[in-house]
Structure 1
């Protein structure tokens, strides 16, 4: 018997009953209130597209984070960085043309579409490196630091297609997708912690099932579609940058056809962070008339 008149078996049964309790809804309500406040107080208008986005950090912070990551990447690629020859000169020229065209393209799209905030171009710190690698890839970090891997050159085949690749990566930086992902990751982390606390009274097996369902819902209903939206937005802005820099935007179609031929087996689109190659080509084709208008408006030569 315990001092309260029940034996130890009864105490364990009572504890088990309490452990198998329900959801602590008040935790979720408080978390939802904070998440709503955080979301509404950190919204801004994306450059070029006017899409409402969630960003907490400043461009200056983007630059600092990107610079540190850039140094780390290049330090790990010592001996593979190509600084002389035709390829680095070509890559630097393409980057300079794309960045120089950016403000003009943004102003033109803002005038014609009436959307898009002004990008603080003077706050970005642009630089590009060429890395000898079989990777068919390129990147542009928050703040403007870029790299092109030589493995992308045989796939691109020409400067126009390479400009589409680099324009896409530059678009990620000027649209501040990295900062936006950080803000959304913070929301996800807060929501996950709140869900863990809210289900803490459940028995372990039931809690695990609920948390797994929440995780799957967040991944397929929110995180992956959000990532694909970023990729499509960067495809659009990158195409306009390439066109405004007087590259042929039509070469982007052949690029993605070749990427599809060399990429191997891919997961279904709903399970991927990127749109499928077919979706990307369809989108690019639907935007091509706008890209040609940008090219005609900003380039002197006749095509």
Structure 2
């Protein structure tokens, strides 16, 4: 088993080491150009497959919020030509992709009651992009598969007994111990990045808490947080509340700069 672990560690060292906006160590092996190409291609496919909302006021409202957020992004991100599209979809969802792409579902507008709440979701999604979570996730998935294949090969060469059982255990352990928590860490990090971003843009930070309170009221069956890639709404709200004081300071500074978004349908 020491050889198995050594192989998996060696595989991880192949990836490049970077630091996220919150100071977390990241491993990424894809170029920014490659990720942007994938994001643009993916967005074009979504536009071809989903109905786009044509209502002018709805589009102006969403783009107003997006523009306020984009102005507060780091230079390499704010200088991108961002494309914002509203999709006619009843799900309460939004997303952002590398390459400067933002999609918002009309169903989200029924849950996010005002510009501050919608800015919380959009800021969260843009947070995934500027933290390069897609790159990190693709790297993780590739390294995980490579590590498991190496482990299987080493055990096969050394005639390890119960190899199949061990591989099944490694696969489950990797999912619960690495893949799922990794997803939760991305979500929590995007929450913090988005909270600060919306505050810098002049949106009220409390909107993020109110948004997740609204989400919680939607109900529905959810897996235990231990077996989910997303934190539970309660934990999300608790984490956001713990960061609200810092965000309020950023909001006050934005107000002093004259940043008062007036985005309405």
Please, what TM-score do these two structures have when normalized by structure 1? 0.80
Q: 1:160, 1:247 within 8 Å by CA — same for their partners in 2? A: yes
Matches within 5 A, 1:77-88: 77=50, 80-88=51-59
In the other structure, the counterpart of 1:93 is: 64
Match of 1:44 among 3, 14, 18: 18
* Structure 2 CA distance for partners of 1:93 and 1:123, relative to 1, 3 Å: closer
> What's the CA shift string for 1:128-162, capped at 9, x where partnerless?
10001111100001222110000111111111100
In the other structure, the counterpart of 1:106 is: none
The 2-side partners of 1:188 and 1:35 are apart by 8
1:30 is displaced (CA, Å) by 6.1
* Structure 2 CA distance for partners of 1:32 and 1:97, relative to 1, 3 Å: same
1:35 is displaced (CA, Å) by 1.8
* Structure 2 CA distance for partners of 1:202 and 1:152, relative to 1, 3 Å: same
1:282 is displaced (CA, Å) by 0.3
Instruction: For structure 2, list consecutive stretches of 5 or more residues without a partner in the other structure.
Output: 261-265
In the other structure, the counterpart of 1:70 is: 43
The 2-side partners of 1:121 and 1:149 are apart by 23
In the other structure, the counterpart of 1:222 is: 178
In the TM superposition, structure 1's runs of 4+ consecutive aligned residues that sit over 3 Å from their partners are 122-125
Matches within 5 A, 1:1-303: 26=3, 28=4, 31-32=7-8, 34-39=10-15, 42-47=16-21, 49-77=22-50, 80-103=51-74, 120-121=76-77, 124-200=80-156, 201-202=159-160, 206-300=162-256
Q: 2:59, 2:85 within 8 Å by CA — same for their partners in 1? A: yes
The 2-side partners of 1:217 and 1:125 are apart by 41
Bigger radius of gyration, 1 or 2?
A: 1
Q: 1:60, 1:123 within 8 Å by CA — same for their partners in 2? A: no
Instruction: For structure 1, list consecutive stretches of 5 or more residues without a partner in the other structure.
Output: 1-22, 104-118
Q: 1:220, 1:271 within 8 Å by CA — same for their partners in 2? A: yes
The 2-side partners of 1:36 and 1:228 are apart by 20
Instruction: Please identify, of 171-180 and 263-272, the stretch whose mean Cα deviation from structure 2 is larger.
Output: 263-272
1:258 is displaced (CA, Å) by 1.2
Q: 2:92, 2:107 within 8 Å by CA — same for their partners in 1? A: yes
Alpha-carbon RMSD across the aligned residues, in angstroms, is 2.0
Q: Number of matched residues?
A: 257
* Structure 2 CA distance for partners of 1:266 and 1:93, relative to 1, 3 Å: same
1:187 is displaced (CA, Å) by 1.2
Please, what TM-score do these two structures have when normalized by structure 2? 0.90
